[in-house]
Amino acid sequence: MLHADIEKALNDQINAELFSSYLYYAMAAYFEATGIPGAANWMRIQTQEELVHVSKYFEYIVDRGGRVALGAVAAPPSQWRSPLAAFEAALAHERLISARIHKIADLAVKHRDHGTHNFLQWFISEQIEEEKTAEDVVQKLKLAGKDGAGLFMIDRELATRVFTPPAAGA
């Protein structure tokens, strides 16, 4: 059985992951509206990954005898001043999510909930990848600067991203 503090933190994390998905959909819409379809594709894939995270937290709470309590999801922004600003916002958001997960891991240690601490290790590793992937795009966009050809090349690369669901049991 989950400690009430941990159950609440995990439910709050479900909400944060749903917001992440919503945010990345908003970014996809922004990129579509600005004629950058590869970046829109990248964000749609990111949205799918966030929904996988939601499912993992949902199933974990249920498996531990807890109750999933879904809350309202805040509206995300819909405009950014540039493609770079949007990806910088995505990177900042991933760092925020990482910090949230670390706090839940600390809470699990405090309550000696080794199962939850173990469960969160997948997310901790996943966040390292999430941050690195967003950081890589930020760095490429910085290198391209205001060069339209550079943005075109980066967008073409972002269009190749595909969603790969995690392996069963991961």
User: Domain of 96: which CATH number?
Assistant: 1.20.1260.10
Domain extent, residue 28, equals: 4-158
Q: What pLDDT score was predicted for residue 170?
A: 67
Number of domains in the chain: 1
With pLDDT > 90 as the criterion, what percentage of the chain qualifies?
94
State which amino acid sits at residue 8. Answer: K
Sequence-separated (6 or more) residues with CB below 8 Å from residue 92: none
Is residue 167 domain-resident? no
**DSSP structural state of residue 37:** H
Asked if 7 and 66 count as a contact pair (C-beta separation under 8 A), the reply is yes
| Residue 122 near residue 24, CB atoms below 8 Å | no
Query: What average pLDDT does range 89-103 have in this prediction?
Result: 98
Looking at residue 167, what is its pLDDT? 78
Domain assignment present for 170: no
Q: In this predicted model, what pLDDT tens digit does every residue of 11-43 receive, in sequence order?
A: 999 999 999 999 999 999 999 999 999 999 999
Alpha helical stretches, state H, 3-80:
4-33, 37-63
Please state the pTM of the whole predicted model.
0.94
Is pLDDT at 139 greater than 70 in this prediction? Answer: yes
The model's confidence at residue 146, banded by pLDDT at 50, 70 and 90, is confident
Q: Mind listing the pLDDT tens digit for each residue in 154-170? A: 999 999 999 988 877 66
Residue 33 lies in a domain: yes
User: Is residue 168 included in any domain, yes or no?
Assistant: no
Residue 163 lies inside a defined structural domain of this protein = no
Positive or negative, the Cα torsion across 10, 12, 16, 18? positive
- What confidence tier does 6 reach under pLDDT thresholds 50, 70, 90? very high
Residue 146 is classified by DSSP as T
